[in-house]
Amino acid sequence: MERAGRVISRTKLAAGAVCLEELVCAGWPAAVGKKIAVHTRAIGLARGCLRVEVEDAVWQRQLSVLKRQILTRLAEVVGISVVRDVEFRVAPRRRLPQRAEEPRKERDEADQIQDPVLRAIYLRQRRRRSA
C-alpha cells in the first residue's frame, strides 16, 4: 500500500488544500483496519493528539493497549509522524431511527353523539351552515 502523504504530494493541489487533521482522519481506517474502523471514528487532531470516538468502554480499553502499535501504523500510512498520542473517547449513544407516529385524528364533536340518526342530522346541518 502506498503512503497517503506520497499520493497527495504527487497531486497538483494548491498549498494548504489538505490540512494535517483531514489527512490523519482519512488515514485512520487504513491504519487500524476494517474491523476496528467499523467501531471507531477519528474526530479530530489537536496539538498532536488524535481524538477517536469508540463504541463503548470495552473498545476503549482494548485500543488503549494497542496505542503504540496504532501510532506506528498511523505514521506509516500518513507518511509523517504528526500524531504523538491517541485519546479514545466513548461516543454518546446515538438514537436509532424511529417510526413516525400516526397523525392524531382531530376529535370531532359529532363522534360524541351515539345515536346514528341524530349524528347524521347534526353533520348535515353543520355542512349547511359552513357552506
Q: Amino acid letter at 98?
A: Q
Fold (topology level) of 18-90: GMP Synthetase; Chain A, domain 3 (3.30.300)
Q: What is the pLDDT along the chain (131 residues), one digit of tens a residue?
A: 555 555 555 555 455 556 888 888 889 999 999 999 999 999 999 998 999 999 999 999 999 999 999 999 999 988 888 889 999 999 888 777 888 777 766 777 888 888 999 989 999 998 888 87
Contact 96/59 with Cβ under 8 angstroms?
A: no
What residue spans define the domains of the chain? 18-90
pTM of the model as a whole: 0.59
What whole-number distance in Å separates Cα of residue 27 and Cα of residue 22?
Answer: 8
